[in-house]
Amino acid sequence: MSRIVQKFGGTSVGDVERIKKVAERVKLTAAQGNQVVVVVSARAGITNELLSRARAVCKDPSEREMDMLLAVGEQETIALTAMALHDQGVDAVSFTGAMAGIQTDRAHTKARIVTIDASAVEKQLEAGKVVIVAGFQGINEEGHITTLGRGGSDLSAIALASAVKADKCEIFTDVDGVYTADPRIVGKAQKINEISYDEMLELASSGSKVMQPRSVEFAEKHGVLFEVRSSFNFNRGTVVKAEVPHMEKVVVRGVAVDKDQAKIIVSNILDKPGSAAKVFRALADANIVVDMIVQNVGRNGIANLTFTVPQGDTLKAQKSLEPVLDEIGGGHVAVHEAIAKLSVVGVGMKTHSGVAADLFKGLADASINIDLITTSEIKISVVIELDRADEAARIVHTIFGLDAE
């Protein structure tokens, strides 16, 4: 007998018919003799309904009350999912995040899980029940309802899997798993059968939106093996787990394109100690995440700083830099939004040389200009012009032997 955590997102529980399908799937898993914990999100759409009501009564709703409000979404789903299981003859019981013992810190709307007291969940499992837990939500030490922010239900599932020492955690979604590239861009993209946490993290941070990085980080830290798979079929998905030696045989695991970045150039600044620090302090104070950074020093002690930020933050970035410009010698801020970041990811890069050279040559052969470059142990990222990003992804996918037959 195994213990399995299964997580279904908002689309998978989007209406009563979908909920019945989820129940059928859970029933199958339970019928195979497994103890099953099911983590569900709020149905797709309800969050927007609730937000619009909140905005109608309050210009600036407090985060504490927003959590109280949004938590009803999953509570509806857990009750309906338990009922759907009952209707199919499966003994099941629903738990809110608080009832499931998911203790968080006090950061409303983006709480972190501090600990999980899974004793109540385990008691029900031992009693032969399927336990349905509300994802995305928890309770803080003062007894107030908190929510975990974007991707919170994935995190709930992985943290619960760790707490109940599950043999497996399945993250059901609307895709078959993690692909070597976005199949909408690269027609020959293939599903990856297994991938290391680090590769998954680098792919996620490079624009592959399957899961939020912090869920993967949590899984890595606590050694939770999980599988990303489709709720619409029974295909095997992508198993995400700790790196094992044979993974290094594949040099490049996947190619990711991030079109949501903008490039900012701060030019004509004095090349003196502290200039760059002042720029990035100002951006950090404005809560802007800076990704790739390059500094060029020209003649006469004049330097340029180039970096990328999320496109939605460009105006905020410009504003936050204005008061700094004088301090660093005048200078000028320019924004370029027509860029994309292309990344190749693979733990094999640790032991294989020449990946960067192959990448640069492939792009050069197609006359695609490389603007910025950053590298990590298992990733190389380049900034290229937006118009040629999809073509570049297909070229690189072929170069590294990722194309499906």
The residue from 44, 51, 72, 293 that contacts its own copies (CB under 8 A) is 72
CA distances to 19, 46, 73 from 76, in Å: 11, 10, 6
Site membership for its own copies, residue 20 (CB under 8 A)? yes
Site membership for its own copies, residue 286 (CB under 8 A)? no
Q: How many residues bind its own copies (CB under 8 A)?
A: 39
Site membership for its own copies, residue 19 (CB under 8 A)? yes
Residue 320: CB minimum distance to its own copies, A: 29
The residue from 51, 120, 286, 302 that contacts its own copies (CB under 8 A) is 120
Site membership for its own copies, residue 144 (CB under 8 A)? yes
The residue from 14, 44, 50, 386 that contacts its own copies (CB under 8 A) is 50
| Complex with its own copies: residue 56 or 357, whichever CB lies closer | 56
Backbone angles phi, psi at 127, to 5 degrees: -80, 5
Site membership for its own copies, residue 245 (CB under 8 A)? no
Site membership for its own copies, residue 110 (CB under 8 A)? no
Residue 118: CB minimum distance to its own copies, A: 14
Site membership for its own copies, residue 112 (CB under 8 A)? no
Residue 114: CB minimum distance to its own copies, A: 19
Site membership for its own copies, residue 58 (CB under 8 A)? yes
Residue 137: CB minimum distance to its own copies, A: 11
For its own copies, the binding residues (CB under 8 A) are 16, 19-20, 23, 50, 53-54, 56-62, 64-66, 68-69, 71-72, 75-76, 78-80, 82-84, 86-87, 93-94, 96, 99, 120, 143-145
